[in-house]
Amino acid sequence: MTPPRLFRAYAKINLGLEVLGRRADGYHEVRTVLQTIGLCDSLEVMPAREGLALTCSGLPIPSGEENIVMKAARQLQEKCGIRAGAKIRLTKRIPMEAGLGGGSSDGAVALLALSRLWNLPLCIERLLPLAERLGSDVPFFLFGGTAFAAGRGEEVYPLPDAPLSNIVVAWPRSGMATKEAYRLLDEKLTAPRDAHKIQTIVGEVVSRRLAQGSLFNRFEEVTAHGKPASEANLARKALLAAGATRALMAGSGSAWVGFFPGREESQAGAKEMARAGFGAAATVTLDRKAYWEQTLTGFGKELLP
């Protein structure tokens, strides 16, 4: 029996996130700097003569056709005329509705993992249209590291890697659905007040001098609305009390990211957050080289960005 192949699907955070307004197609125009981090799901794939089967473990998640991994597999089969099947096992560690891009990462890595499994001669550029159809954040996970994104998030421009950071990701019991977060933000949205801050972050990343004071997230304006948001705000305060030098919302929430001076401090901070009743993980940011080495070990150079 062919042993399963293991692939890691890493989470992301937003070092800067500005929402410019609603577009004609119903999506929101954004400007953001994305960064992969070490918290990850894992996908194991095995060949099958026909059919697709997905099993899930870890954090609760749907395992049917609505799962983005299944959607990615169906799209890839259709695009390439694949009759072969696959057995996929998803171990979920990235919390849902937390702004960490776990589902998007699962979808992107599913495209890459199944390309490998089915011996498809695909490069990143040819996978991008499929990734865009799956979701706004999915294209980013075909690159990893640090990147600037525009449009609804699908226009991705890799940047030099931001300096390594020791972080704690903390999330409350209740998530924040992306649609609801945007609805709350729409009520406050007038003009883009912080668009220039994205330019500042990009410039600092390029110069390898990223200052924590430059980090921002427009969704922090709505963290006082509703029960999930209130719990997220408590996570922010708890991170600062646990020793974080900066606390930043992850995507549209409800998770928060605390930046710590070193590894020991971040591990102690994660323990403090767990004692306070939050889900928490101490980890680091991942540069592009580490992202690809740890996500897709064994891939040929033709699939590297």
List, by residue number, the catalytic residues. Answer: 12, 137
Which regions of the chain does DSSP assign to beta strands (E)? 5-22, 28-48, 52-58, 85-92, 146-150, 155-158, 166-171, 216-217, 246-249, 256-260, 279-284
In the structure encoding, which two tokens stand for residue 171, read together?
A: 């999330």
Q: List, in sequence order, the alpha helices (H) in 26-147.
A: 68-80, 102-117, 124-134
| C-beta separation of 169 from 39 below 8 A | yes
Sole residue written with tokens 């963290």: 223
Do residues 234 and 223 touch, judged by C-beta distance below 8 A? no
Helix (H) or strand (E) holding 265: helix 263-275
Dig out the tokens for 268 from the structure. 């102690």
223: CB partners within 8 A, 6+ apart: 229, 230, 232, 233, 236, 249, 253
CA distance 219 to 181: 7
User: Exposure string (b/e) for 222-237, b if CB count within 10 Å is 16 or more?
Assistant: bbebbebbebbbbbbe
